[in-house]
Amino acid sequence: MLNKEAKLMLQAQIKMMLNSIDKTGAAARWPMPILKSTVEASIYSEPIAAKKFYEYILKLKKLGLSFEEIKNVFSYPSPLARMTMIFRSRAIWKLNQKQQLELYNYLGKILSLFYQEDAFCAKGKNILLVKSVVNKLIKKFKKQKSLTADLISQIDGRLWMYTETIFSRWHNLGHEFHGPYKISKNNFLIVKEWHDLQGLGQKIFSNFPYKKIICYEFYKNSQVTFDMHNRMSSSRPLINSISKCFVEADGKILSTAQVEKLKNIIDAYLFKGARYLSKMNKNDLKIMNATMEFYVLKPLADYLKIDWQPPVSLIKKINSSKIEKKEGKVLEILKEYYKSLNLKNLKIQFDPTVKFS
């Protein structure tokens, strides 16, 4: 059976996905060019990633690590939250149902420990900082000269496109937006951490001048919500609600002139990135997807001193473009489900206590 945290995680997952469907009931499409459906890619890699994830957790538990200590291996919750998606392919995993349930319970337990309140962003908050840290940030920026709302929106937009360029549909592997941190009745802070900006080892991104950029954005008279996959929504255009804003790059607060320069740097990398992506074929994108799934687990692999990359056998299978009969059947069912998502087929996909069919 599912533990308390896993039940809450499942509820948040289903609510989030129901909120993401379009007017026809079809699933909102994450950016993944060429492929008609992202499950065309994940059908290869999810079963392998699931087994690795389970093995890593067992090894860490055997070493005596608590769930809190395992949580501390990760920097952010939303990349890990994306692992809830892999349970849709559990019918072809090399884990039995007991092991699948264990893994889902482990994931729920570990993920729940990130949130200071509102676990899994169930009520729209992604509160990761304790009050004392928030107070230090408020004090830090009290006398700093703010950037303009227009400039911060230009940086946010470019960084969003840049993380999509690196991580495609897994772009929250490159950002964690959190808050809202209440300052007064109608004022709050949103922190946007753009991280892993030098990519996954791809030469084209490795020389980006910053590893991490943080945008501190103070708002008034607006409502902002998050889901656990780090999608953000607001009651009005945020550019109209910003009271002050700042950009920090690798620990240094940037001036307006430095942020203007940063815009040009990002533009250059977006141009190079577009050329890089345009040369990819279907199998390249499937391999890219597999790499993203394993990159989520990289902190665990690094702790265990294990190579984090997708196994060579998986890459060979993707390049062969062959899938087994059972895999093909699961793929067709998932593709059909994604044409019209509803509560019933979402439970079939993501609830490990329910038989997949």
Instruction: Tell me the pLDDT tens digit for each residue of 181-216.
Output: 999 888 999 999 999 999 988 899 999 999 999 999
Q: Give residue limits of the domains in the chain.
A: 4-118+282-350, 127-278
| CA pair distance 93, 86, nearest whole angstrom | 10
Instruction: Tell me the pLDDT tens digit for each residue of 130-141.
Output: 999 999 999 999
**Predicted pLDDT of residue 215:** 98
Q: Choose among 202, 199, 201, 182: nearest CA to 190.
A: 182
Amino acid identity of residue 63, one-letter, is: L
Instruction: Tell me the pLDDT tens digit for each residue of 88-112.
Output: 999 999 999 999 999 999 999 999 9
**Predicted pLDDT of residue 147:** 97
**Predicted pLDDT of residue 33:** 55
Instruction: Tell me the pLDDT tens digit for each residue of 297-349.
Output: 999 999 999 999 999 999 999 999 999 999 999 999 999 998 889 999 999 99
| CA pair distance 23, 57, nearest whole angstrom | 39
**Predicted pLDDT of residue 25:** 58
Question: Long-range CB contacts (< 8 A, 24+ apart) of 4-7?
Answer: 5/105, 5/108, 5/109, 5/111, 5/112, 5/119, 6/104, 6/105, 6/107, 6/108, 6/109, 7/108
- List all residues 6 or more positions away from 306 whose beta carbon is below 8 Å from its beta carbon: 56
Region 5-30: mean pLDDT is 81
**Predicted pLDDT of residue 239:** 85
Q: Residue ranges of the alpha helices (H) in 184-307?
A: 203-206, 256-278, 282-296, 298-304
- List all residues 6 or more positions away from 323 whose beta carbon is below 8 Å from its beta carbon: 43, 44, 331
CB 71 within 8 A of CB 107: no
Residue 123 tokens, joined: 């009520």
- List all residues 6 or more positions away from 336 whose beta carbon is below 8 Å from its beta carbon: none
Torsion angles phi and psi, residue 307, rounded to 5: -60, 125
pLDDT over 90 (residue 34): no
**Predicted pLDDT of residue 26:** 60
**Predicted pLDDT of residue 27:** 59
Question: Long-range CB contacts (< 8 A, 24+ apart) of 137-143?
Answer: 137/181, 137/189, 137/191, 137/216, 138/183, 138/189, 141/216, 141/218, 141/244, 141/246
pLDDT over 70 (residue 35): no
